[in-house]
Chains A and B, each alone.
Chain A
Amino acid sequence: AQTVTQSQPEMSVQEAETVTLSCTYDTSESNYYLFWYKQPPSRQMILVIRQEAYKQQNATENRFSVNFQKAAKSFSLKISDSQLGDTAMYFCAFMKLHSGNTPLVFGKGTRLSVIA
């Protein structure tokens, strides 16, 4: 079974600074997706970024980028130029690639506070 570990329960960052959230995972699969989701106080789970395991290039979405180290099974999220609206719970998630559905396996989350 796959497991996802987020070792930082809480983090804080000053507005406009850069912060990195850590995630490690354990799997014997070779084909999978990794995701970062954001859950603000409104509770809506919002996709931040996706990484396909077969791609060596790290995914980037505007101020959000990942450092994907497949051999080390590490998938960290870097947020640049942090904004107050980035305050939220951030969840790292794993999905095995399979014909048909495979469920998301989530880490416990990191609560990020952006301070003005």
Chain B
Amino acid sequence: KAGVTQTPRYLIKTRGQQVTLSCSPISGHRSVSWYQQTPGQGLQFLFEYFSETQRNKGNFPGRFSGRQFSNSRSEMNVSTLELGDSALYLCASSPSGADIQYFGAGTRLSVL
């Protein structure tokens, strides 16, 4: 079974731009969660989608949004990028959410 796939692996953007990150979960997994990892704040939960619905949301501004498609693939969007948005963005999938989460290799976003 293929693992969690995140694309792209690296992104470089400038302040004010917007960006979209993609996550394809393990086949059969319906829950997709997103986390932001920075040296200062560590790993922080962004949001979780299940069956195309946002089920849980972390404490991030509205510039961070996401969605999930009928095939469980998920996208995360960040608008009006700020320097502080530079981070590793990790996606994790699980069958239902209340279970082991399997992570992708992440997307490294650099905002210049």
A residues in contact (CB < 8 Å) with B: 35, 37, 42-47, 50, 91, 95, 97-109
Contacts and interface: CB of A to CB of B under 8 A. Distances in A.
Interface stretch (B48-56, B64-72, B76-84): B48-56
Given A100-B55, A103-B58, A109-B42, A47 B33 contact: no
Contacts of A42: 105
Given A101-B98, A103-B45, A45 B33 contact: no
Please classify the interface of chain B as helix (H, G, I), strand (E, B), loop, or mixed, using the class held by over half of its residues: strand
The CB with the most chain B CB atoms within 10 A, among A43, A47, A98, A103, is that of: A103
B45 A104 contact: yes
Given A91-B43, A103-B45, A104-B92, 20 more contacts: A43-B88, A44-B105, A45-B92, A45-B106, A97-B98, A98-B98, A100-B56, A100-B98, A101-B31, A101-B55, A101-B56, A101-B96, A101-B97, A103-B33, A103-B48, A103-B58, A104-B33, A104-B43, A104-B101, A106-B42
Interface of B: 31, 33, 35, 42-43, 45, 48, 50, 55-56, 58, 88, 90, 92, 94, 96-98, 100-106, 108
B98 A47 contact: no
A42 B104 CA distance: 11
